């Protein structure tokens, strides 16, 4: 009975040790450093998609292609500048914003255990929530305050040759009194763009962690296989030594 109890205790100790090891390995998988890197990469890719939506969004309102990006860039370069320069400035702003939000997302979800993006569903949900927060904090205040005046000035100074990709055509223009008419659509499409951004950013971060976890699992399995092979070789060596010893005894 004593031997059986000791054997059970050894098994329990071994099981607890394995559980502790698995918990430590799980916690090591998620770190602020990895989260920041994965978040920056995911934010960059998602920001590119966000830019595509913002580039073509003006067509819905019968505005020139790229009007919103040109207006955003004009906040830095000035409304009198070349639309190409303003577009590049806007693209830079969006990339910086996307990477910054992605880094915050990666660090927070890596540090807080309850927010770990351990599966696709959690990653997508947390990404969408992050997109909504970014929309409320970064997009809405600008659209409601400085953006109307910039957009009106942009239409007044936008080169005629740039007003359409199909040649010189008439487009709707905006003045301060007509802007509220377009505001719900601008907010709605902006909300959609941020949801797309959050979905892709969260998905990419989750995928990156999944790939990392898969690689770690494979390395651990290979290490266990090597240890098992070494144990088997050790047992074979012991058996050979034991057989050799028995033969010597018989000879003597």
Q: Which residues contact 131 (CB under 8 A, 6 or more apart)?
A: 194, 195, 196, 197, 198, 199, 201
Q: What is the CA radius of gyration of the chain?
A: 30
Both tokens of residue 176?
């301060």
pLDDT the model gives residue 138: 92
Both tokens of residue 82?
């070349």
List pLDDT tens digits, range 39-89.
999 999 999 999 999 888 888 877 777 788 888 888 787 766 677 788 888
Residue 26, CA distances (Å) to 8, 21, 123, 151, 218 in order: 27, 9, 17, 50, 14
Percentage with pLDDT > 70 across the chain: 62
Q: List alpha helices for the chain, DSSP H.
A: 2-29, 32-56, 67-77, 83-111, 120-134, 140-144, 147-157, 179-251
Cα–Cα distance, 50 to 52 (Å, whole number): 5
Over residues 120-142, mean pLDDT: 93
Percentage with pLDDT > 90 across the chain: 29
The DSSP 8-state label assigned to residue 119 in this structure reads: S
Number of Cβ within 10 Å of residue 80's Cβ equals 9
pLDDT the model gives residue 19: 47
Q: Tell whether the model's pLDDT for residue 231 goes beyond 70.
A: no
List pLDDT tens digits, range 143-157.
888 888 887 777 766
User: What are the boundaries of each domain within the chain?
Assistant: 32-217
Q: Which residues contact 49 (CB under 8 A, 6 or more apart)?
A: 196, 197, 200
List pLDDT tens digits, range 100-115.
999 999 999 988 888 8
pLDDT the model gives residue 154: 74
Q: What is the dihedral of CA 197, 101, 147, 157, to 10 degrees?
A: -80
pLDDT the model gives residue 41: 95
pLDDT the model gives residue 94: 94
Q: Tell whether the model's pLDDT for residue 25 goes beyond 60.
A: no
CB of 97 closer than 8 Å to CB of 47: yes
Task: Read off φ and ψ for residue 225, nearest 5 degrees.
Answer: -60, -45
Over residues 92-104, mean pLDDT: 95
Cα–Cα distance, 21 to 29 (Å, whole number): 12
Mean pLDDT across the chain: 76
Both tokens of residue 100?
């910054």
List pLDDT tens digits, range 137-192.
999 998 888 888 887 777 766 655 454 444 434 555 555 567 778 888 889 999 99
Q: Tell whether the model's pLDDT for residue 131 goes beyond 90.
A: yes
Residue 238's pLDDT band (cuts 50, 70, 90)? low
């Amino acid at each position: 009975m004593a031997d059986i109890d000791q054997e059970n205790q050894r098994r329990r100790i071994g099981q607890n040790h394995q559980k502790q090891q698995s918990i430590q390995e799980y916690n090591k998988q998620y770190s602020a450093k990895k989260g920041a890197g994965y978040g920056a990469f995911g934010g960059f890719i998602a920001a590119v998609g966000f830019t595509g939506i913002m580039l073509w969004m003006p067509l819905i309102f019968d505005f020139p292609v790229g009007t919103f990006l040109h207006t955003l860039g004009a906040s830095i370069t000035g409304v009198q500048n070349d639309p190409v320069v303003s577009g590049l400035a806007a693209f830079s702003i969006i990339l910086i914003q996307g990477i910054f939000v992605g880094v915050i997302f990666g660090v927070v979800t890596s540090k807080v255990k309850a927010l770990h993006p351990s599966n696709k569903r959690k990653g997508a949900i947390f990404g969408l929530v992050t997109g909504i927060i970014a929309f409320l904090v970064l997009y809405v205040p600008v659209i409601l305050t400085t953006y109307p005046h910039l957009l009106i000035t942009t239409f007044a100074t936008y080169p005629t040759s740039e007003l359409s990709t199909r040649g010189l055509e008439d487009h709707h223009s905006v003045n301060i009194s007509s802007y509220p008419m377009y505001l719900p659509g601008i907010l709605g499409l902006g909300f959609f763009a941020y949801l797309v951004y959050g979905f892709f950013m969260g998905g990419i971060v989750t995928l990156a962690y999944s790939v990392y976890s898969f690689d770690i699992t494979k390395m651990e399995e290979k290490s266990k296989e090597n240890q098992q092979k070494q144990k088997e070789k050790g047992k074979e060596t012991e058996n050979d030594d034991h057989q050799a010893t028995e033969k010597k005894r018989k000879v003597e």
